[in-house]
Structure 1
Amino acid sequence: MDDLGVRVAQVLEDVVPGGAWQAPFVGPEAAFRNKAKLVVAGSREEPTFGILDADRRGVALPECGLYEPSLAAALDRLVPAVTDLGLVPFDVPGRQGELKHLIVTGSPDGETMVRFVLRSPGQLGRIRRGLERLHAAEPGLRVVSVNIQPEHKAVLEGEEEIVLTEADTLPMRLGDITFHLRPRSFFQTNTVVAGALYRQARDWVEEVGPTSVLDLYCGVGGFALNAAMAKGVAPRRVEGVEVAPDAVASARRSAAELGVPADFRVGDARALTALGHDLVIVNPPRRGIGSDLCAAIESAAPAHLVYSSCRASSLARDLAALPGYRVTRARLFDMFPQTEHVEVMVLAERVTGR
């Protein structure tokens, strides 16, 4: 492992044996990101799309080496078209204006989803009337939505989302599964590494051969659907739990298209106490799963646990709170190149007699 991998292994050395580590998966160092989150500032006539400087004024980023080539090309076409709509950029110091952010996501098949984050619905009509212009500029444009974020605080988006196109999902095809990304659904921003992460989880599922799988913090169903598609023991009962209704709707749609026995429901994984499955998969936020869910897993004693983490320190804490499990496989995925952040996934088995 490189220096970053060594540092991650050191954080986890008390809970992950040295012999459990597999070779890290490393994707491209540049041109890997499938989503652009652009702060909009400047004036109606000359808006900037990029970031804010120390004085909270807009700085244009006409080029960014992190974006996938197809996304970068789409932005080159979309930014002038959005400028032509005549929207009033939001001025952070003055707390005036409407358009706060432009969020653009690109799919592996060259389609795009564009989200306008507005302070209020006041400019909604301009965007509706400009849909034809946006589609003419970007032929791959599939979904356009408006998010209303009225508060003056460091929050990217609000609770209200208004979809303006007939299509309300962006298909994200990874291998043999097509996920359906809704505007407010989470999806990994590194498509290549996300695909490798899901393939590895599927391989581990095939290796241990569970008859039932529970995916907690399931999102749009990345791990659950791959588990359902794995070869091995049948029938396999797969369930997913996610707090975001939009993500659950997306996961259900993908499961129906695939015709696999996967059920998804809206719920808070942290509040679950009954976990009657052979294998539990958890993919929590950076804070980890916490003591209550660790206790529930210990009590239910599934034969295997797959834990995917974007923060090694919370993973170390949670594994320490799961004394009934022994890590047998571990792998680092460089999901965030050029940073200190990585995704780490482990496979753990129930220790006999615990």
Structure 2
Amino acid sequence: MSIKKRKAYELEITDLAFGGRGLAKPDGFPVFIDRCIPGDVVFAKITKKKKSWAEGKLIKILQESSLRKEGKCQYCNFCGGCKWQQIGYDLQLEYKKRHVTESMQHIGGLKDVLVKDVIPSDNIYEYRNKMEFSCSSKRWLLPWELENEEIKKDFGIGLHVPGTFDKVIDIKRCEIMPDLGNQILDDVRNFIKESDLPAYNLRTHEGFWRFLMLRHSVAFDTWMVNIVTTFKQMDVVRDLASVLTQNHPQIKSVMNNITDAKSGVSIGKEEICLYGKDHIKERLGKFVFKISPNSFFQTNTRSCENLYAKVSEYAALTGKETVIDLYSGTGTIPIWLSDQAKMVYGIEIVKSAVVDAKLNAQLNGIENCEFFEGDIKDVLPGLKQKPDVMIIDPPRVGMHKDVVQQVLYISPEKIVYVSCNPATLARDLEMLAPEYDIKEIQPVDMFPHTYHIESVALLLKK
């Protein structure tokens, strides 16, 4: 079969590729199609054609796979959040493990690395402690809404249609967020509809309402509501804060971030506390952390504890070691390890994260954590302390090659590498492999119904 762009074909899905897309191989030629699972027979239009692969858009499922399940969420076939709801959770874990293994083999050239079975998420619904919803003056209509001429393309608040920057689905209920979050979302929707202020339009750059961010503390069952607007209108946002806090006593913080940035970014240039405090608190293990509107915190609290427990296990500290944590963020890993080590140093480039890390250490009465602000490749060479154990927890893009060279030069006896991207994990481990034995990799699922997977790798110096 000769595959051509803009042509449609009947294809059988035989596998799931990393990134969560279905894979068909007509005459051995790979075609990637979103929202398909192995065993589906589909009709798909080719949207991109390269020499050795192609991408297609699903038009219709001609024959459903025996593996296909009914998704719990009515939006799971349309929004970009939970594309794997039609796959049973046990099978999701199998594919996630396989994606880590295949990344090691095909990207890193690492053939004999032990990848363990995935540690599952304690909850597979209502697990996210943070959700961000976008406002739109013209929401995206779903197929059953298009059939009803009385339904108007008016205000919506929800999640984006994949591949678009301005098309928002009006989400009435998100299944991966705790139920109270849906009640808060509905109250905000009704308030905005009744207000005289329009939603922000990313094309015309006009309008007032931009984003709603919800944060939930699992340990304390409290909520933060962050309303992002284009300009200051204190009477309106204070009225909204009053409605929300009267309806939901669990809300302990209401913030207003204000930004006139033309890009779709929810971080404000100015931040105003409308109710309560400017943060909520969360607990990981025995440690308490302050969470401000824009601070980074792992979105699955209970699975984060599973992840950090594995970091502790691999670090195997006795209380005598010096630990350096690269990409230390708001200090969660250094603080988690603080009572197991002699001294922990964290390096982080984001100034606000370093400020939060220092505050979190003070909050927990910790005196053996020290945090440095700056680019790792600039800060690391200036540290006189040679670590016994190095923790590496980079963003999705992995380590800069200069940082890899510095790690090899410092040559710690043990490295614990925490990754949210199997592809860059494989690439970085390949560079470290000449000097380090990769003992094992433990995947930890923090994002049920998505293809994303966290992994912890243990490396020992040869």
TM-score band w.r.t. shorter chain = 0.7 to 0.9
Structure 2 counterpart of 1:10: 102
1:264-283 alpha-carbon deviations (Å, 9 max, x no partner): 23222243332521111111
- C-alpha distance 25-308 of structure 1, shift in aligned 2 (>3 A): same
After TM superposition, the structure 1 stretch with the greater mean CA deviation from structure 2, 318-327 or 298-307, is 318-327
Structure 2 counterpart of 1:48: 156
Give the partner amino acid of 1:268. Answer: D
Give the partner amino acid of 1:224. Answer: P
Structure 1 counterpart of 2:120: 26
| 1:253 shift after superposition | 2.5
2:325 partner SS? strand
Match of 2:198 among 75, 88, 95: 88
1:282-317 alpha-carbon deviations (Å, 9 max, x no partner): 111111111111111111111111111111111111
**Cα root mean square deviation, aligned:** 2.6
Structure 1 counterpart of 2:277: 167
Structure 1 counterpart of 2:224: 113
Structure 2: any 5+ residue segments left out of the alignment? 1-92, 139-153
Q: 1:333 and 2:419 equivalent?
A: no
In 1, the alpha carbon distance for the partners of 2:112 and 2:195 equals 57
| More helix by percentage | 1
After TM superposition, the structure 1 stretch with the greater mean CA deviation from structure 2, 330-339 or 67-76, is 67-76
Q: 1:245 and 2:336 equivalent?
A: no
- C-alpha distance 57-331 of structure 1, shift in aligned 2 (>3 A): closer
- C-alpha distance 337-270 of structure 1, shift in aligned 2 (>3 A): farther
| 1:71 shift after superposition | 3.3
Structure showing greater radius of gyration is 2
Give the partner amino acid of 2:360. Answer: S
| 1:336 shift after superposition | 1.9
In 1, the alpha carbon distance for the partners of 2:287 and 2:109 equals 33
2:175 partner SS? coil
Give the partner amino acid of 1:349. Answer: L
Structure 2 counterpart of 1:212: 322
In 1, the alpha carbon distance for the partners of 2:418 and 2:372 equals 20
Q: 1:310 and 2:420 equivalent?
A: yes
- C-alpha distance 131-153 of structure 1, shift in aligned 2 (>3 A): closer
- C-alpha distance 348-132 of structure 1, shift in aligned 2 (>3 A): same
| 1:34 shift after superposition | 1.4
Q: 1:71 and 2:187 equivalent?
A: no
1:229 partner SS? coil
| 1:169 shift after superposition | 1.7
In 1, the alpha carbon distance for the partners of 2:323 and 2:274 equals 37
- C-alpha distance 160-265 of structure 1, shift in aligned 2 (>3 A): farther
Structure 2 counterpart of 1:266: 373
Q: 1:348 and 2:428 equivalent?
A: no
| 1:105 shift after superposition | 0.8
Match of 1:38 among 133, 136, 143: 133
Give the partner amino acid of 1:328. Answer: K
Give the partner amino acid of 2:158. Answer: G
After TM superposition, the structure 1 stretch with the greater mean CA deviation from structure 2, 68-77 or 19-28, is 68-77
In 1, the alpha carbon distance for the partners of 2:294 and 2:377 equals 21
In 2, the alpha carbon distance for the partners of 1:207 and 1:146 equals 42
CA contact (8 A) 2:377 2:406 kept: no
Structure 1: any 5+ residue segments left out of the alignment? none
CA contact (8 A) 1:78 1:137 kept: no
2:380 partner SS? coil
- C-alpha distance 315-127 of structure 1, shift in aligned 2 (>3 A): same
Number of positions where the alignment pairs a residue of Structure 1 with one of Structure 2 = 344
| 1:73 shift after superposition | 4.5
Structure 2 counterpart of 1:179: 289
- C-alpha distance 161-114 of structure 1, shift in aligned 2 (>3 A): same
| 1:10 shift after superposition | 1.6
1:272 partner SS? helix
CA contact (8 A) 2:295 2:330 kept: yes
Give the partner amino acid of 1:303. Answer: E
1:157-199 alpha-carbon deviations (Å, 9 max, x no partner): 3444333345122211122111111111111112221121111
Identity of aligned pairs, percent? Answer: 26
- C-alpha distance 106-195 of structure 1, shift in aligned 2 (>3 A): same
1:39-87 alpha-carbon deviations (Å, 9 max, x no partner): 11238xx742213556945431110111133434444555445656654
1:220 partner SS? coil
**TM-score normalized by structure 2?**
0.68
1:2 partner SS? helix
Alignment of 1:124-143 (within 5 A): 124-143=234-253
Give the partner amino acid of 2:102. Answer: Q
Alignment of 1:293-308 (within 5 A): 293-308=403-418
